[in-house]
Amino acid sequence: MKNVMIVIISVIVFLLFYLLQVNFFNWFTIAGVSPNLFVILVLFLGLFAGKRLGIPMGIFLGICLDFFIGKKIGISGIMLGIIGGMAGILDKNFSKDSRITLILMTIGVTVTYELGVYILNHLIIATNFELMAFIKILLIEVIYNVIITIILYPILQKAGYYIEDAFRGNQILTRYF
């Protein structure tokens, strides 16, 4: 029951992030570049609930995103699914209690996601390939995502431990031994 509630709340948070991204971060930009809140959401789900929730939620939320505004259905779905899986693997190897580690993870997943989406778009719908311009925008986006992660860190951590307790309550200690 607790698990179902967490999934429902995650979807509500996703919708909230979508509205924020469309309305607020459309003008609240750094040099015209807005952050990507969905990457942070899926990273956080994968880190605390494990890849069993991270991957399906990533794929589901990504496909929803593609339905809302994407040019081709599935591109965001695939990449957010990969981010969910990546987050699960990162959790096994790094501590999520450190702010620095979480920032580095945010940088890693943001770069992976945007690079993946850019390459898939280039291959599937033949977008123009402009590497330098892409890197410039990506760098600003990464900085913006890091700033948002720093701001949200206390909330993410509190909510994260609650999710971890619900999904992996009896596995939390065993992974350290």
Partner 1 sequence: MYKKKTSVVGIIITIVILIILVFISNMKVENLSYIENIISSVVMPIQNGITYLKNKITGNSTFFADISELQAENEQLKKRNSELETTLREFEIVKSENSTLKEYLDLSEQYGNYQTKAAYIISKDISNYSNVFVINVGKNDGIEINMTVISEKGLVGHIISVTDTTAKVQTIIDTASTVSSTITTTRDNLICKGTLEEQGLLKATSIPTTANLVVGDVIETSGMGGIYPKGIKIGTIKSVDNTKNIVDRAAIITPAVDFSKVETVLVIL
Q: Which residues bind partner 1 (CB under 8 A)?
A: 18, 21-22, 25-26, 28-34, 36, 65, 68-71, 114, 117-118, 121, 125-128, 130, 132-134, 137, 141, 147, 150-151, 153-154
- Contact between 117 and 82 (Cβ < 8 Å): no
Question: In angstroms, what is the minimal distance from the CB of 171 to partner 1?
Answer: 28
Taking the least distance from each CB to partner 1, the nearer of 8 and 150 is 150
Task: Outline where the chain has alpha helix (H).
Answer: 2-19, 37-49, 51-69, 75-93, 99-125, 131-168
Do 94 and 47 touch, CB atoms closer than 8 A?
no
Q: How far is the CB of 89 from partner 1 (least distance, A)?
A: 26
The residue among 6 and 102 lying less far from partner 1, judged by its C-beta, is 102
Least distance between partner 1 and beta carbon 73 (Å): 9
